[in-house]
Amino acid sequence: MKAGAKIINDITGFQKFPEMADVISMFGAGVVLMHMQGSPVNMQKNPSYKNVVQEVKEFLEKSINISKGAGILSDQIAIDPGIGFGKNQKHNLEILNKLEMFIELGKPILIGVSRKSLLETY
């Protein structure tokens, strides 16, 4: 951020290192809060959810609260349900089909499809 970054993408949604929210707030930067089940090393081994949309939404809501608690301005927060990160194709499609559920969080939604394996079924 000292080099001029204006937005940070936190793949843990500040839930692994919540103190990062304080640092980002000090610099006045924006943030993208992403959901990922597991870690980059094991996230695709056996992703499991009872209700993927509800669980991801609750995770992101908690991340938003961490951000606001650290002083990050509400209009500097975007959310990313983490397509392809700790989710199988069924989970990914369910999230995409129910994006309106995430609108309730009141934040811009970023959908990154950097995990091209999502496209295997098409």
Where exactly are the structural domains of the chain? Answer: 7-121
* Phi, psi of 104, deg, nearest 5: -60, -20
pTM of the model: 0.87
pLDDT of 61 over the 80 cut = yes
CATH topology of domain 7-121: TIM Barrel (3.20.20)
CA angle 79, 83, 89 (to 5 degrees): 150
Amino acid at site 27: F
- Per-residue pLDDT tens for 88-108? 889 899 999 999 999 999 999
The answer to whether the beta carbons of residues 56 and 77 sit under 8 Å apart is: no
Residues ≥6 apart with Cβ < 8 Å to 121: 89
Question: What pLDDT does 110 receive?
Answer: 94
CB atoms within 10 A of CB 73: 12
Question: What pLDDT does 69 receive?
Answer: 97
